[in-house]
């Protein structure tokens, strides 16, 4: 299984990349800067830019010898528009327009641009899997969460339409989310994180989604914190 994980150099992306490599997958991780990730190939990519996305997917395809799975994970959080969003939430009218665009461009448009580069190749090869990372629905309606909430709501809609467009093509599309607040770089370092999930919660479900056991699983919304471990012989990437 050849896998590309966007935003795979930290947080949820790194946890998924680590789990996939441990399960035997060949993994390319991407980020705005190339970083050393044990067991994976790192490629620089700015998901907001179609030229960068095209170049990076070309390189990933060549280095892996094809792409079987795309994990759309690259994203930025509320800290980019309000560093104190947990303690001093802002009304949507207080959000800078540039900050709004930056989050939407990364968390929503980025998913579209990268998938747009990968899917034609998957259609040609006759198979492929796309996993779009999302968040709890409460985040999409919570006060003070513009533009992060709308960006994730948009990515969920995009995922459902992608799944509909790709029905019966041999390419599956699913949504994966942690199932609660997670300790990542999106949370201020001085914030109270008691009860937060560890990013490793994403490991078991992403490995399963890359395994033979998940062949044909399509248009599903999978919550990592509620994921049931599969049987041992169903947890390898091939």
Whether 182 contacts 7, CB under 8 Å = no
Whether 173 contacts 166, CB under 8 Å = yes
Task: Say whether 111 is catalytic.
Answer: no
Distance from C-alpha of 134 to C-alpha of 107, rounded to nearest angstrom: 9
Find, among 80, 76, 65, 86, the residue nearest to 6 by Cα: 76
Q: Which of 111, 145, 148, 208 is catalytic?
A: 148
* C-alpha angle 69-70-73 in degrees, rounded to nearest 5: 140
Beta carbons within 10 angstroms of residue 65's beta carbon = 8
Provide DSSP, 118-177: HHHHHHHHT-EEEEEE---GGGGT-TT-TTHHHHHHHHHHHHHHHHHHTTTTTEEEEEEE
What are the catalytic residues?
A: 148
């Amino acid at each position: 299984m050849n896998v590309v994980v966007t935003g795979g150099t930290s947080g949820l992306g790194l946890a998924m990349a680590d789990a996939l490599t441990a399960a035997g997958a060949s993994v390319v991780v991407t980020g705005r800067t190339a970083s050393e990730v044990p067991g994976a190939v790192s490629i620089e990519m700015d998901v907001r830019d179609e030229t960068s996305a095209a170049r990076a997917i070309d390189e990933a395809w060549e280095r892996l010898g094809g792409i079987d799975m795309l994990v759309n994970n690259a994203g930025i959080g509320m800290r980019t528009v309000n560093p104190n969003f947990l303690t001093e939430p802002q009304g949507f009218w207080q959000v800078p327009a540039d900050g709004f665009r930056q989050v939407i461009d990364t968390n929503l448009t980025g998913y579209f641009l990268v998938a747009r580069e990968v899917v034609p190749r998957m259609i040609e090869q006759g198979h492929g899997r796309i996993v779009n990372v999302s968040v709890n629905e409460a985040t999409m309606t919570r006060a003070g969460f513009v533009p992060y909430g709308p960006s994730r709501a948009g990515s969920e809609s995009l995922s459902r339409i992608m799944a509909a467009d790709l029905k019966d093509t041999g390419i599956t599309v699913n949504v994966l989310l942690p199932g609660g607040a997670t300790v990542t770089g999106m949370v201020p370092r001085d914030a109270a994180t008691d009860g937060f999930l560890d990013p490793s919660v994403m490991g078991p479900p992403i490995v399963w989604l890359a395994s033979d056991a998940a062949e044909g699983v399509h248009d599903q919304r999978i919550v990592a914190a509620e994921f049931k471990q599969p049987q041992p012989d169903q947890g390898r990437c091939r």
